[in-house]
A and B are shown apart, each in its own frame.
Chain A
């Protein structure tokens, strides 16, 4: 469904992506792991068309979205939903208005239908009754849930998750992981999760791709990655720093 070919992106003198090749099949649950600042989120933004590559292709159902302008991309993005690291809820809107954003703009839904679908989406993310709250009144975990409700309400084919458990306590992080699984299973969507949380990787991933030095360094199941003998993969999944290298 999504195919990335020789994707390259440079910011200043830093080559963030250096020839990424990756294929994502419809319905699969892929987790992209890698070090902080290693280009995971940049890769994700390329997949959604939020960033244009220096070279390479991002094929969505055969169409190279890297060649499309912003207005042409709007149609492609209708297939996508995205949960941002910070949830990126619109501050000025209520939870209900945030979730209903796409439906309200389509103008072919009645207010009753929008209200019903917002309530269903909130039910799915375990936040019923929060329609009238403002984002500022929500905790980090609640904001992520609302962000997910906003991403799923229009039934996208692919949902992208950018560091969905970052900044959350372990219990809330686990509940978000379970929620991602539930959404994936119930809506039968393709899920692409960027994370460096190994527990999250094992919970939500069916396949894992590790981004290292601007390329996909290794792929496999979560179990294969956890038991990998490769020193780079092994050190990363076990969280062992290299004493010769500055990691901060």
Chain B
């Protein structure tokens, strides 16, 4: 399916209207869940880090840890997991229902390739939306951590921000960005593949929906480990 998507992107004209509709559903409609996830992850990470660092008088390093973790790991991974749950499931269910109700066959008889019409806009929209959602999530996480750290836990704001900027560099941001692009691709291709290859009836749609979320989540978590190792080495060259 990935090869078909690449071939379609290279040779077929993409419908801007379909892309915008998918961007709206995947990007705009996912903001609440992603912002809430980012905010509470940032807050709890700040609190836990503070509780440990406070023992060794390293309170002002708390926000630096939150920032680096959110940019390179937690932001992309948690955003991807939330999007996999919301968007991956929706894609598998929608395409699966279209398949079992012969709507995919109808598309084919109307001389429309299902990959061009159904899969490519979804994959492209997810690949574009997940990095933006990740950026929102990371920003919200850091802001929330700042509020908790400075106003609740009484960490010195000046030193905290200086340390955060000192230890968070462009490589952390770039790592998060690259990961989120790849995670977007994983979520969309898994959701679309499971939908387009679902079994018969409501049971088939149910199975494909569950599998889309489970497989995408596992793939995100596993690939995150290897991407961290790979990207850390590659980005060190910059």
How far, in Å, is A100 (CB) from chain B's closest CB?
11
> A70 vs B225: C-alpha distance in the bound complex, in angstroms?
37
Contact A88 B103 (CB under 8 A): yes
Distance from B196 Cβ to chain A, minimum over Cβ atoms (Å): 12
A88-B106, A90-B106 given; A101·B101 CB < 8 A:
no
A145 within 8 A of B: no
Q: Which of B97, B98, B105, B112 contacts A84 (CB 8 A)?
A: B105
**Interface residue? B108 (CB, 8 A):** yes
Residue from the set A75, A82, A150 with the largest chain B CB neighbour count within 10 Å: A82
Count B interface residues, CB 8 Å.
15
Kindly identify which residue among A49, A71, A75, A85 contacts B102, using a CB–CB cutoff of 8 Å: A85
A133 CB to closest chain B CB (Å) equals 17
A82 close to B101 (CB less than 8 A):
no
- Taking a contact as CB atoms under 8 Å apart, the answer to whether A77 and B105 are in contact is no
Whether A50 lies near B103 (C-beta < 8 A) is no
**Residue A48 lies at the interface, judged by CB distance under 8 Å to chain B:** yes
Residues in chain A near residue B105, CB distance under 8 A: 45, 50, 84, 88
Is the CB–CB distance between A88 and B108 below 8 Å?
no
Q: Are B112 and A101 closer than 8 Å at their CB atoms?
A: yes
- Cβ of B109 and Cβ of A81 under 8 Å apart? yes
Task: Give the distance to chain A from B216, nearest Cβ to Cβ, in Å.
Answer: 23
Kindly provide the distance from the CB of A114 to the nearest chain B CB, expressed in whole angstroms: 14
Given contacts A88-B101, A88-B102, A88-B103, contact A82 B109 (CB under 8 A): yes
Distance of A91 Cα from B101 Cα, bound (Å): 10
Task: Evaluate whether A77 and B113 lie within 8 angstroms (CB atoms) in the complex, with A86-B102, A88-B103 already known.
Answer: no
* Residue in contact with B110 in the complex, picked from A49, A73, A150, CB distance below 8 Å: A150
A71 to B101, CA, bound (A): 22
Contact yes or no, A48 B109, CB < 8 A: yes
How many Å lie between the Cα of A81 and that of B106 in the bound state?
9
Q: Are B110 and A50 in contact (CB under 8 A)?
A: no
A74 and B103 alpha carbons, distance in the complex (Å): 16
- The answer on a CB contact under 8 Å between B103 and A90 is yes
A126, chain B: closest CB distance, angstroms: 21
Shortest distance from the beta carbon of A140 to any chain B beta carbon, whole Å: 14
Binary contact track A42-86/B, C-beta < 8 Å → 1, others 0? 000100111000000000000000000011011101101110111
In the assembled complex, the Cα of A101 lies from the Cα of B110 at a distance in Å of: 8
Complex: how many Å from CA A102 to CA B229? 48
Q: Are A77 and B109 in contact (CB under 8 A)?
A: yes
Contact, CB under 8 Å: A78 / B102 = no
Judge whether B111 is part of the interface by a CB distance below 8 angstroms. Answer: yes
Question: Could you tell me if B102 and A74 are in contact, using CB atoms closer than 8 angstroms?
Answer: no
User: With the chains together, A102 CA to B106 CA distance in Å?
Assistant: 11
* Minimum distance in angstroms from A90 CB to a CB of chain B: 6
Known: A70-B108, A77-B108. A91 touches B103 (CB 8 A): yes
Q: A84-B106, A88-B106, A90-B106 are in contact. Are A78 and B101 (CB under 8 A)?
A: no
User: A244 contacts the other chain (Cβ, under 8 Å)?
Assistant: no
Interface centre among A74, A89, A151 (most CB of B within 10 A): A74
Q: How far is the CA of A150 from the CA of B107 in the complex (A)?
A: 11
Decide if A105 is an interface residue (CB 8 Å cutoff): yes
13 contacts between A and B (CB under 8 A): A48-B109, A70-B108, A77-B108, A80-B109, A82-B109, A86-B102, A88-B101, A88-B103, A88-B105, A89-B106, A90-B98, A105-B111, A105-B112
Which chain B residues have a beta carbon within 8 Å of chain A's beta carbons? 15, 97-98, 101-103, 105-113
| A-B pairs, 3 with minimum CB distance | A88-B106, A88-B102, A82-B109
Identify 19 new A-B residue pairs, CB closer than 8 A, beyond the known A81-B109, A84-B105, A90-B106: A48-B109, A49-B108, A50-B105, A70-B108, A70-B113, A74-B112, A74-B113, A77-B108, A77-B111, A84-B102, A88-B101, A88-B102, A88-B105, A89-B103, A90-B98, A91-B97, A91-B101, A102-B110, A105-B112
